[in-house]
Amino acid sequence: MKSLFLILGCVVALSGCNYRESKVPPQPVLNASSGLRAFQETVYAHARANCVQCHSWRQPPLFAAENVEEAYAAAKPYADFHSIKDSTFVFRTKNGHCGQACETDGTHMQALIQEWWEKGENAQQPPTPQESTLLTDAIALPELKKIKGGFVKLSWTLDALTPARVQQTSERFELEVERFDVSSYRFRQPRIHTADRALEVRGIKILIDGASDLTGNAYLKIENKIAAHSAPLLSIKHQLVPVSSAAEPIVQISFRHLAEIPNVECSEPTLFENKALPILASRCQSCHGKMPSSQFHLVNETEEACRASRQLVNVVSPLDSPLIAVPFLQAASHPARVLTPEEARSINDWIAAEVKSW
């Protein structure tokens, strides 16, 4: 909780460190003992000596955090083990963004990443993934030649994945993709657009040419309930996926769980009305109260507003909840909204109580 307030207090104050890379998410730490140890002896030791002022607490990615497991998870997207010289870590040590440590020729960082790979990641075998319950149709991945050339929206129908309907309603899953670097795609903004029913979703994986890599392309922490006629953002995380070598790559989405539920109800409406709604009304309602077509419609009626807000809470990782992270931490494109520590604490009092009831 304290870390959230520190971050919120720095949203408008951060100018000494580049914030461009803060939207790339940490990756899950699996059975990573050898990789973790190797990281700790190499890149992490360098980071703790040179990068603590920014990247240990206030400037994502937190690859210099005091908690080495947190640092390891945050660091993995920035090391390209397929082409070490093209790693973001190497680029950042050469671009002068943060003093002498970032004004090198990059060879020292390349050597550290190489050692990290040889001592740890190369010997590490990720666990065999569990079979997914539901799998979408395969669609062609669009041609993405230009590095960071912009995101393209992909869409899959979900009608065939849930029990037979009297009438097909074009429920769909959406995800955006761009070419991140020479060896990776980057995916973001997973959403499910529902029709006349509510859905529960848990565990999403992105499959390229039928394969998934749990170190990069798994939204395994997604666990949410989605009300009818809505399309909440399911995660603020960006996922890096290795580039396909196929001439015509295809992409599919798998779900560990996707099922119809009676409805999405708010378990703590009174607490929401007292703790969260006054702040959301003050900061958000000028836009989201006037747009019925918005993917977050903040109506005046407390229970409806609570239901809409609940869909933007991450049950597994509450501090990553889009309700907080999108407008206040700028985890996605959105006009900046600034909270005081007291306001942040108030919203999180409701989130904590709501999550306990799920």
- Please state, in angstroms and rounded to a whole number, the distance separating the CA atoms of residues 246 and 181: 17
Angle, CA 74 vertex, CA 280 and CA 29 arms, to 5°? 105
Domain tally for the chain?
A: 3
Are 291 and 197 in the same domain? no
- Are residues 192 and 281 part of one domain? no
In a domain, 129, yes or no: no
Of 100, 123, 146, the last residue of a domain is 123
User: Which residue stretches of the chain have pLDDT < 50?
Assistant: 1-31, 125-132, 164-168, 293
Give 187-234 pLDDT, tens digit per residue: 999 999 988 889 889 888 899 988 766 555 577 778 788 888 888 999
Check whether residue 101 and residue 8 sit in a common domain.
yes
**Last residue in a domain, options 230, 261, 292:** 261
Between strands 134-135 and 250-261, the pairing is antiparallel
Instruction: Quote the domain boundaries for residue 340.
Output: 269-356
Same domain, 22 and 49: yes
Is the pTM higher than 0.75? The answer reads no
Amino acid letter, residue 118: E
Residue 31 is assigned to a structural domain of this protein: yes
Q: What is the pLDDT of residue 15?
A: 33
Is residue 224 included in any domain, yes or no?
Answer: yes
Domain presence at residue 180:
yes
Judge if 226 and 274 occupy the same domain.
no
Residue 4 CA to residue 329 CA, distance in Å, equals: 9
pLDDT, residue 21, reads 38
249 lies in the same domain as 278: no
Pair (201, 294) in one structural domain: no
Output the pLDDT for position 177: 94
Question: Same domain, yes or no, for 168 and 71?
Answer: no
Give a yes or no: residue 128 inside a domain. no
pLDDT at 14: 33
pLDDT at residue number 53: 86
What lies within 8 Å, CB to CB, of 209 at 6+ separation is: 244, 246, 249, 250
- Judge whether 62 and 74 are in contact, CB under 8 Å: yes
Residues 277, 315 within the same domain:
yes
Position 239 scores a pLDDT of 85
Q: What is the pLDDT of residue 173?
A: 93
**Average pLDDT of the residues of the chain:** 78
Same domain, 157 and 43: no
95 and 31 in one domain?
Answer: yes
Same structural domain for residues 178 and 276? no
What long-range pairs does 158-164 form, CB within 8 A, spacing at least 24? 158/192, 158/258, 161/134, 161/135, 161/136, 161/255, 161/258, 162/199, 162/258, 162/259, 162/260, 163/260
DSSP 76-113: GGG--SSSGGG-HHHHHTTS-TTSGGGSS-SHHHHHHH
Structural domain includes residue 228: yes
| Structure confidence at residue 139 (pLDDT) | 92
Domain-ending residue, one of 123, 154, 178: 123
Six token digits for residue 144? 């993405």
